[in-house]
Amino acid sequence: MIRFAVTVSLVEQARGGPFVYWDDLAAAFHEAKELGYDAIEIFAPTATHVDRTELRQLIQDTGLQVAAVGTGAGMVVHQLHLCDADESRRNKAIGFISDIIEWGAEFNAPAIIGSMQGRFDKAEGKEASLRRLSDALKTLGKHAGDRGVPLIYEPLNRYETNLFNKLADAAEFLKQEKIENVVLLADLFHMNIEESNLADAFRAAGKLTGHIHFVDSNRQAAGFGHLDFEPIVEALNEIGYDGYISAEAFPIPDPSATARQTIKRYRELFPR
C-alpha cells in the first residue's frame, strides 16, 4: 500500500524552502494525524537536534511513522558534500550522514541524500566526483543496511547538481557500480524539469524507486499546478510501488492548506 507522508523542516537556514510544516515537530505530527497522514518526513539540523524521547512519544501518541529523515542541513548549514576533493571535508560529510542514518534507523526511517551529493568541479572533471560519490554511497549504504534501513539517493535538477538529473541514469550508476542497499528518491519537481516522460522514468527505475517527493509542477501541493498525475499513478501501479509519497512542497498559501490539499489529492489518486 502506498503510504501518505508530509514534510516538516526544523532547519532555520532552509527557511523559504519546499517544506510543508515548519519549526514545531509536535504540531506537525498532530495536524498530520488529524488530516489522515501515515507519516512525517523530518528535515533536521543534526542527528541530535530532535529529542529522541519526545519523538518516540509523538509516534506513540499519534500512531504516525517517520517516513524518512533528510541530510540536507549538512550542505545548507555546513557546505559539506560527498564530492569534496578535500578528504577531511568529505569525511566530515560522510560522518554527518552516518549520524543521521543512525538516528533515523532508531525510528525505522531511512536517510535521504539530496543536496549533500554535491556537484563536480568543471576544472577537475566529472569522473573523480563520480568515484567519490560511488565510494560514499557504498560505505553509507552498508552502514544503513547494518542498521536495518535502506539509504535513499535523490537525483536533482540541473540547477542543484551536475551529477545525476534523471532517474534512469542514477539507476544505471547504482547497478554498474554495484552499490547495494541504496534506492532512488523520485522528486516530481526535479523530474518535471529533467525527464522527457515522468511515467516512463518510473518504469525505467522500477524497483529501485524507494521514495517519492510528491508535488506539483510549481512545487506547490499536488493539484495546485499543472502536472498530469494519472499516467504517474498508472506507472506506479505497474512497477508495484508501495513506499511513501511525501509532500515536499512550498507552504503556499500556508502549511495547513498545503497539507489539506495534498492529502485530498493523495486520496483521489490512491483510493483505499
Residue (of 190, 270, 254) closest to 31 by Cα position? 254
Axis crossing angle, helix 25-35 with helix 255-269, rounded to the nearest 10: 40
Which member of 31, 154, 194, 195 is catalytic? Answer: 154
Nearer to Mn ion, 219 or 265 (CB): 219
Q: What's the one-letter identity of residue 92?
A: K
What is the end-to-end Cα distance of the chain in Å, rounded? 9
State which H helix or E strand residue 7 sits in: strand 3-9
Yes or no: say if 18 and 246 are a contact pair by the CB < 8 Å rule: no
Q: According to CB under 6 A, which residues from 36 to 55 bind ligand LER?
A: none
Range 73-80 contact pairs with CB under 8 angstroms and sequence separation of 24 or more = 73/11, 73/13, 73/14, 73/43, 73/44, 73/45, 73/46, 74/100, 74/116, 75/115, 75/116, 75/118, 76/11, 76/13, 76/14, 76/115, 77/11, 77/13, 77/45, 80/116
Burial grade of 132 (CB within 10 A; 0-12, 13-18, 19 or more): buried
Residue (of 169, 105, 111) closest to 136 by Cα position? 111
* Three-state secondary structure call for residue 184: strand
| Binds 31: which of Mn ion, ligand LER, none (CB < 5-8 Å by kind) | none
| Binds 160: which of ligand LER, Mn ion, none (CB < 5-8 Å by kind) | ligand LER
Binding range to ligand LER, per CB under 6 A, among 22-30, 154-162, 191-199, 239-247: 154-162
* Residue 154 binding ligand LER, by CB under 6 A: yes
Least spacing, CB of residue 249 vs Mn ion, in Å: 10
* Known active-site residue 54: no
Nearer to ligand LER, 2 or 113 (CB): 113
* Residue 258 binding ligand LER, by CB under 6 A: no
Nearer to ligand LER, 62 or 137 (CB): 137
- Residues at the contact surface with Mn ion, assessed by CB under 5 A: 187, 213, 248
Yes or no: say if 22 and 8 are a contact pair by the CB < 8 Å rule: yes
* Known active-site residue 41: no
How many binding residues for ligand LER (CB under 6 A)? Answer: 9
Q: According to CB under 6 A, which residues from 161 to 200 bind ligand LER?
A: 187
Of 31, 41, 216, 248, the one binding ligand LER (CB under 6 A) is: 248
State which H helix or E strand residue 68 sits in: strand 65-70
Binding range to ligand LER, per CB under 6 A, among 60-68, 125-133, 153-161, 222-230: 153-161
* Residue 72 binding ligand LER, by CB under 6 A: yes
Least spacing, CB of residue 154 vs ligand LER, in Å: 5
| Binds 216: which of Mn ion, ligand LER, none (CB < 5-8 Å by kind) | none
* Residue 255 binding ligand LER, by CB under 6 A: no
| Binds 156: which of ligand LER, Mn ion, none (CB < 5-8 Å by kind) | ligand LER
C-alpha triplet 232, 155, 271: angle, nearest 5°: 25
Q: Which residues are part of the catalytic machinery? A: 154, 248
Contact positions toward ligand LER, by CB under 6 A? Answer: 72, 114-115, 154, 156, 160, 187, 213, 248
